[in-house]
Amino acid sequence: MAQKPTYQELEQQVKDLEKYRDMHGLLRLMADNVPDMIWAKDIEDKYLFANQAICDKLLHSDSTSEPVGKTDMFFARRERESGFDHTFGEICVNSDAVVKKNNRPGRFLEDGLVRGRYLALDVHKAPFYNEKGEMIGTVGCGRDVTQELEMNRRLKESEERFREIIEDVSEIGIQGYDENRRVTFWNKASETIYGYSEAEAHGQALEDLIIPDVMKDDVIRLHRLWLEKGEKIPAGELVLINKYGQDVHVFSSHVMHETAAGQ
């Protein structure tokens, strides 16, 4: 016959339970205060946990407890039945299935319409194991990257328009090069002036193409000062060389272009 717990043991159990509840509440508060979406699903893709962000931004759930035991399809169907245009995840790979099949973490771009507005998520998912090492589902987090994707799209369109414009400039040679002076852009006029095709010039160091030997050290030094100290290379008339070693008289001017990453 099992011995009844003593008063001290019961008191300790109550304290342990209160401590567990406090820790559970703290973890819930932490998850609900981050802007990223956090969730866990069982092996049948039913929610075990959903933080406030995913309830607000994707599921449109009234509470964080409502998703438990339900799938994404439940909420998608409810949105459509309520008259909302909801296509999120329809054309995406079934990332839950991929993670479970591969038994390893994965990263996915998941997107679509949520209440008629485009939403894109940078999603990380991983298998969810119990203390025995058995897979019991998946865990995931998603970050809203809708604005970043739109900015990248606009930047790409702007760069394409700029490239089209400078490609059409027939008398001004325009070259682009990176921080190591390797050619990244070479317009038609540059092909005419210097004799190198765009394919020949691309990826080559500028000083190996059009800079005379006596100027190479100065060009490299001035370029380094511009990058490291912000001392812009002065504009002026120069005598460079073409593909055939012939002098080319030009007026040279430089503009630094920084990428979104600050390079």
pTM: 0.62
Map out the domains of the chain with their CATH numbers: 8-144 (3.30.450.20), 159-252 (3.30.450.20)
Compare 41 and 167 and report the one with higher pLDDT: 41
pLDDT per residue as tens digits for the range 188-234: 899 999 999 999 999 999 999 999 999 999 999 999 998 888 889 88
Cα–Cα distance measured from residue 88 to residue 75, given in angstroms and rounded to the nearest whole number:
11
Contacts 24+ apart (CB under 8 A), 186-195: 193/242, 193/248, 193/250, 194/240, 194/242, 194/243, 194/248, 195/242, 195/243, 195/244
Cα–Cα distance measured from residue 241 to residue 195, given in angstroms and rounded to the nearest whole number:
10
pLDDT per residue as tens digits for the range 142-178: 999 999 999 999 988 888 887 777 766 667 888 888 9
Of 219, 213, 261, 222, residue with least CA distance to 241: 213
Instruction: Evaluate if residue 4 carries a pLDDT over 80.
Output: no
* Span 111-121, average pLDDT: 95
Q: How many CB atoms lie within 10 A of CB 58?
A: 27
